Structure 1
Amino acid sequence: MPLFSETSDVSVRPAVPGDELAIAQVQLAAWRDTHADVFGTALDDLDAEAISAGWHESITAPPGPGYRVLVALAGPQVVGFAAVAPVAAPEGEARGGVLVALEVTPTAQRGGHGSRLLAAVVDLLREDGADQLHTWVLDGDDARARFLRESGLGPDDVAREVVAGTLPDGTHRTVNEHRWSAGI
């Protein structure tokens, strides 16, 4: 029996201190690959070091129970991440969760990392007693919509407008997002 397999070691684990810069780099690479037409040159101004500080806080001092950051690994390398937060429910109803972020670096996409991350998020939400999951998708993000649809989520007719930056004339640039959800 050979010591090494022809496939790489892939896994998902909770993010730990030290993962934050890799998470920020994955996030920026994925956004630049997918959303350059929406955010334009504003993406060029984003700094991985500054973004990593926010991820460090999310990893080391989450705001409460149910807030989690997970990473997808190819061998020892972080190639993706997911962040999930709890959603309060009315008394007597099961809680839900919102998938705040799920990104895979462009060179590692279509390798199952996103599916593994989403499955891990769902498992954690179920352990917490949640029975639903939702997330937000930018208009025009066809790849994300396809991934979510193939994963069992669907749009639920809730939309919102989000400020995506400030234009040179001082006005705000906005984008539209639609909520996708599923029972888990």
Structure 2
Amino acid sequence: MSSPSADVSCRVAWADDAPAIARLQLATRRNDLAELLPAEALAVDAEEAEAAWRQALVRPADARVRVVVALERNRVVGFAITSPALDPDCDPVADAELMEFTVDPAERGKGHGSRLLQAAVDTMVADRFGRAVLWLMAGDDALRGFLVSAGWAADTAHRELDLDGTGATVVKQVRLHTQLA
């Protein structure tokens, strides 16, 4: 006799997922970036975020921009955004970018991230990309370790982002990549 399994899955996001994705994104950023960013940078209006997400889900900027959600029952516990790669040294026809990869901090370590990453990779493969890249904070050892264990590796690209336009809040990022095909 086997024990019941959890009701978990991943799927392409629907417009009705916009409120849940917006709430998750805002809460995760406040949790993960509170020590890095000033409070005013994290003070985003929830209704504006929800409206922006709804618009992005209904009318993506590019037909190959996809949002995939990880679900536990009917609750969004993570999301990933895939798109053609935007970096000048990437080929937007052949290279995809994992633009965002977010899992609810309270749900990490339960397999949602692995399922979500696989669903994002499957989506990029279905869109006929051969390679994927992702930018992450240089000090995010947990995400880097997770991705490296899944076959991603650092390449030589790195950058500094000026988040507030004044030079007061600069973050260093490194790029990881993986072959998809």
TM-score (norm 2): 0.88
Gaps of 5+ in 1: none
Residue 132 of structure 2 corresponds to which residue in structure 1?
133
Offset of residue 44 of structure 1: 4.3
| Structure-to-structure mapping, 1:163-174, within 5 angstroms | 163-165=162-164, 172-174=168-170
Cα displacement (A) at 1:172: 4.2
Q: Distance in 1 between matches of 2:83 and 2:93?
A: 14
Report what 1:41 is aligned to. 39
1:1-184 matches, cutoff 5 A: 6-87=4-85, 95-165=94-164, 172-184=168-180
Deviation at 1:171, TM superposition (A): 5.0
Q: CA deviation at 1:87?
A: 2.8
User: How many pairs were matched up?
Assistant: 177
3-state SS in 2 of match to 1:107 = helix
CA contact (8 A) 2:154 2:175 kept: yes
Q: Secondary structure at the match of 2:64?
A: coil
Q: Say which structure is richer in strand.
A: 1
Percent of residue pairs bearing the same amino acid type = 34
Worse-matched range after superposition: 44-53 or 63-72: 44-53
1:181 is paired with a residue whose SS is: strand
AA at the equivalent of 1:144: L
Unaligned stretches of 5+ in structure 2? none
Residue 119 of structure 1, CA deviation: 0.7
Q: Using the alignment, how far apart are the partners of 2:68 and 2:107 within structure 1?
A: 16
Name the aligned partner's letter for residue 141 of structure 1.
D
Q: For the aligned residues, what is the CA RMSD?
A: 2.2
Alpha-carbon contact 1:42-1:165 (below 8 Å) kept: no
Cα separation, 2, equivalents of 1:84 and 1:44: 23
